[in-house]
Amino acid sequence: LVAVISNGTAVLGLGNIGALASKPVMEGKAGLFKKFAGINVFDIEVDETDPEQFIKVVRALEPTFGGINLEDIKAPECFIIESQLREQMNIPVMHDDQHGTAIIVGAALMNGLKVTEKEIGAIKLVCSGAGAAALACLDLIVKLGVKKENIFVSDIAGVIYEGRTEEINEYNVKYAQKTDARTLGDVIGGADVFLGVSAPGVLKPEMVKTMADRPLIMALANPTPEILPEEAKSVRPDAVIATGRSDYPNQVNNVLCFPFLFRGALDVGATAINDEMKMACVHALAELAHVESDETVVRAYGLQELNFGPDYLIPKPFDPRLLVELAPAVARAAMDSGVATRPIEDFEVYRQKLTEFVFRSGIAMKPVFERAISNPKRVVYAEGESRRVLRAVQTAVDEGIVKPILVGRREVVSMRIEQLGLRLSVDDDFELVDPEGDERYREYWEDYHSITSRDGVSRNEARFLVRTNTTVIASLMLRRKEADAMICGVTGRYREHLPHVFKIVGLREGVGRAAALSMLIMPKGTFFICDTHVNPGPTAEQIAKFTVLASETVKFFGMEPKIAVLSHSNFGSSRHDNAKKMEKAVHLIREMAPGLEIDGEMH
């Protein structure tokens, strides 16, 4: 349980609106904790601006919470409040506006410098803004390797230089430089990196022109950044740009960090969130951007591919792998640095639990995957050129759950692997069946012709289909025992693929008719629905047989089937023919499989 606590003195984009007015913002923050990391949260709005009184209130809450997320508290009070609470409390305390932003900026900086091919210790960095977030960012990037003498800060009063007295305090004075520059325009020339945590429009296109080659611009003011990406690109096409907005690439968003940082801290009973944990989060976040993109993320953002580069420096906020990668990194850092009170003994088990939270399918599929790992089978993927399939194959190879066989043209498969940034190696990680050049082509079309010749399929038609229809090829491999299972239908309609499978593979002995079984993984549980695709008007006898077959499949997933036979009628409330058919099916099922738990007809 975490407390999100604010006095509403520095709400993003709204300023000092007070505790009561900040409540909807804090409620939203609480929802993000729950959504992304499964952490329960109370939002607490404290109507107190005096730091000492605020500290007393928060400190008294320690017995209730496992962690404190301070939110939207203005500087310099936020520095005092966080510092004293960290000293006085034995649970994690973090001001997210400072450290959450700093962690994301740190990851973006590391990866941005990889893209621009610059050494972190040699860059010149100019920062616009000297508030809580800006100073936390600077403190962290110094720890990453940026030299303090190469950092120049400009705020509302201009460049922070040695001897300046206006708007100077004990927190920003440490970044005062011995320089004659007095404005952002004076100091920006030759800068490799611009960090904006200030106000809209302060970075002008003419300033960007004077920056070093391939500048990294992080313009994070919201909703309007210090410079719009299109303005920066118009004068410096070589610039790499990050903003705080979701409608531009490289969004620096705290949701990439705080849910997972707290989850890792809570799971080991950490007494603090220290520098080691924050740095672990930075590195895990930066490394995740180098891994091939997740299919869920690509679909969510309407993209075909998402590879590390100028437009993809850090993961997207809805990347489901964030929890699985960041929380363990934070937890391990807490253990290594001595602040964990409940060390994790088995990180593989821990990662599996996190995976099951993120990917609800993990719970349902766990028994299947466990059996698959112990004895990987040959699985042929009919649509081997599909981006979606290739991402799935990468995961399957990483997990060691199958021996993949892909049907597809070698040139296209190789090109797509490169486009997607996958680590797959043709012929090493999977077998490739190329319809344009496989040596078994003649055997395949002759087999297909022998199967279908009585249906009027000519030899030429057989040659054409085996050359062009990947579902036919995959089905033939299954029939010839060159594969143990097949996956098809990623493209096209269900009923376009089914006739080929029926004709070539056929049905199990003793089964006269097939049915489709669809698996739905819902928050309340896993449901199987039969028949969803194949039979438009099955008889009561067919429904009974389908139900028994479906129950066998459900047991394969390690579940005990509980069956509801569905109708518009409830236990005889309607005497329509369809209702009577379903009623009859229930009786037949009970006769065929008396051990099944079943009821119906019902709706």
* pLDDT tens readout for residues 253-266: 989 999 999 999 99
Please give the distance of CA 392 from its chain centroid, rounded to a whole number.
15
pLDDT in tens, 480-523: 999 999 999 998 888 899 999 999 999 988 888 999 999 988 87
Contacts of 144 (CB under 8 A, 6+ apart): 106, 109, 110, 120, 279, 282
Q: Where in the chain is the domain with CATH 3.40.50.10750?
A: 517-602
Q: Where in the chain is the domain with CATH 3.40.50.10380?
A: 2-91
pLDDT in tens, 29-74: 999 999 999 999 999 999 999 999 999 999 999 999 999 999 999 9
- State how far the Cα of 551 lies from the Cα of 412, in Å rounded to an integer: 40
Task: Out of 1.10.3210.10, 3.40.50.10750, 3.20.20.70, 3.50.50.60, select the CATH number for domain 517-602.
Answer: 3.40.50.10750
pLDDT in tens, 320-330: 889 999 999 99
Contacts of 345 (CB under 8 A, 6+ apart): none
Contacts of 459 (CB under 8 A, 6+ apart): 445, 449
Query: Tell me, what DSSP letter sits at residue 248?
Result: S
For domain 99-252, give the fold: Rossmann fold (3.40.50)
Has residue 76 got a pLDDT over 80?
yes
Residue 240 carries which side chain, given as an amino acid letter? V
Residue, of 365 and 268, whose pLDDT is higher:
268
Burial 438-465 (b: 16+ CB within 10 A, else e): beebeebbebbbebbeeeebeeeebbeb
Tell me how far CA of residue 43 lies from CA of 7, 22, 29, 31, in angstroms. 11, 10, 8, 10
Q: Where in the chain is the domain with CATH 3.40.50.10950?
A: 361-504
Mean residue pLDDT of the chain comes to: 92
pLDDT in tens, 366-407: 778 878 888 899 999 999 999 999 999 999 999 899 999 999
Has residue 92 got a pLDDT over 90?
yes
- State how far the Cα of 316 lies from the Cα of 107, in Å rounded to an integer: 13
CB atoms inside a 10 Å sphere around CB 317: 18
Tell me how far CA of residue 160 lies from CA of 128, 129, 139, 353, 479, in angstroms. 10, 10, 16, 48, 75
Residue, of 389 and 293, whose pLDDT is higher:
389
What is the rounded average pLDDT of the residues 461-476?
95
Q: Where in the chain is the domain with CATH 3.40.50.720?
A: 99-252, 255-358
Considering Cα of 504, then 507, then 510, then 512, what sign does the dihedral take?
A: negative
What is the rounded average pLDDT of the residues 591-599?
92
Considering Cα of 327, then 333, then 335, then 339, what sign does the dihedral take?
A: negative
- State how far the Cα of 483 lies from the Cα of 481, in Å rounded to an integer: 5
CATH superfamily of 255-358: NAD(P)-binding Rossmann-like Domain (3.40.50.720)
The confidence band for 147, taking pLDDT boundaries of 50, 70 and 90, is very high
Has residue 235 got a pLDDT over 80?
yes
- State how far the Cα of 273 lies from the Cα of 264, in Å rounded to an integer: 10
What is the rounded average pLDDT of the residues 396-425?
93
pLDDT recorded at residue 363: 63
Burial 166-183 (b: 16+ CB within 10 A, else e): eebeebbeebbbeeebee
For domain 361-504, give the fold: Rossmann fold (3.40.50)
pLDDT recorded at residue 302: 65
The confidence band for 144, taking pLDDT boundaries of 50, 70 and 90, is very high
- H or E, element range at 52: helix 51-59
pLDDT recorded at residue 458: 94
- H or E, element range at 79: helix 77-88
From 253, 244, 250, select the one nearest 220 (Cα to Cα). Answer: 244
Q: Which two tokens stand for residue 577?
A: 């023919």
Angle, CA of 394, 488 and 481, to the nearest 5°: 90
Residue, of 437 and 338, whose pLDDT is higher:
338
The SS3 of residue 293 is coil
What is the rounded average pLDDT of the residues 88-116?
96
Query: Tell me, what DSSP letter sits at residue 360?
Result: T
Report the percentage of the chain scoring pLDDT > 90: 78
What is the rounded average pLDDT of the residues 550-574?
88
- State how far the Cα of 61 lies from the Cα of 68, in Å rounded to an integer: 9
Tell me how far CA of residue 200 lies from CA of 11, 203, 224, 227, 246, in angstroms. 16, 8, 5, 7, 16
Q: Which two tokens stand for residue 587?
A: 């009786």
- H or E, element range at 45: strand 41-45
Longest dimension (CA), the chain: 96
- State how far the Cα of 190 lies from the Cα of 97, in Å rounded to an integer: 29
Q: Give the chain's radius of gyration (CA, Å).
A: 30
- State how far the Cα of 498 lies from the Cα of 379, in Å rounded to an integer: 18
CATH class of 2-91: alpha beta
- State how far the Cα of 540 lies from the Cα of 546, in Å rounded to an integer: 10
Tell me how far CA of residue 293 lies from CA of 69, 312, 318, in angstroms. 30, 10, 12
- State how far the Cα of 280 lies from the Cα of 583, in Å rounded to an integer: 60
The confidence band for 318, taking pLDDT boundaries of 50, 70 and 90, is confident
pLDDT in tens, 520-549: 888 788 899 998 889 888 999 999 999 999
Q: Any bridge partners for residue 526, and if so which?
A: 521
Has residue 3 got a pLDDT over 70?
yes
Write down the pTM of the prediction: 0.76
What is the rounded average pLDDT of the residues 592-598?
92
Report the percentage of the chain scoring pLDDT > 70: 98
User: Which residues are part of the catalytic machinery?
Assistant: 29
Whether the Cβ atoms of residue 115 and residue 325 lie closer than 8 Å to each other: no
> Is 41 exposed, middle or buried, given 0-12, 13-18 or 19+ CB atoms closer than 10 A?
buried
> Is 508 exposed, middle or buried, given 0-12, 13-18 or 19+ CB atoms closer than 10 A?
exposed
Q: What are phi and psi of 194, to 5 degrees?
A: -115, 130
Query: Tell me, what DSSP letter sits at residue 166?
Result: T
- H or E, element range at 94: strand 93-95
